[in-house]
Amino acid sequence: MPPPPPEPAVRVDLAEDPHAHIVCRNCGRIQAIELTELDRHVLTELAARHPDGWSVDGIAFSATGACRRCREGPPA
């Protein structure tokens, strides 16, 4: 098992763990994307780069694309 990622350089106080979704641009369907501990660490590191005067209390990553139903079209 790999060692846990290091703590972020700048602390962010999150109300919940970072999470990710993929959103279909056509129908709006949303599905969760599973994150690893390393993924959560990277998102937290990015959030820690917030501009002066800002605080971060949540991290949500979104990917966009087309779901299988929209890509395949209506049944024949």
Say which residue, 76 or 25, is predicted with more confidence: 25
Tokens of 63: 């990917």
Entry pTM = 0.68
Q: What tokens appear for 58 in the block?
A: 């949540």
Beta pairing class for 19-24 and 30-33: antiparallel
| Domains along the sequence of the chain with CATH | 21-72 (3.30.1490)
β-sheet with 60-65: strand ranges across: 30-33, 19-24, 60-65
| Residue 65: Cβ within 10 Å count | 11
pLDDT, tens digit (0-9, with 9 covering 90-100), for 6-63: 554 556 778 888 999 999 999 999 999 999 999 999 999 998 888 888 888 899 999 9
Give the model's confidence band at 69: pLDDT under 50 very low, under 70 low, under 90 confident, else very high.
very high
CB 35 within 8 A of CB 76: no
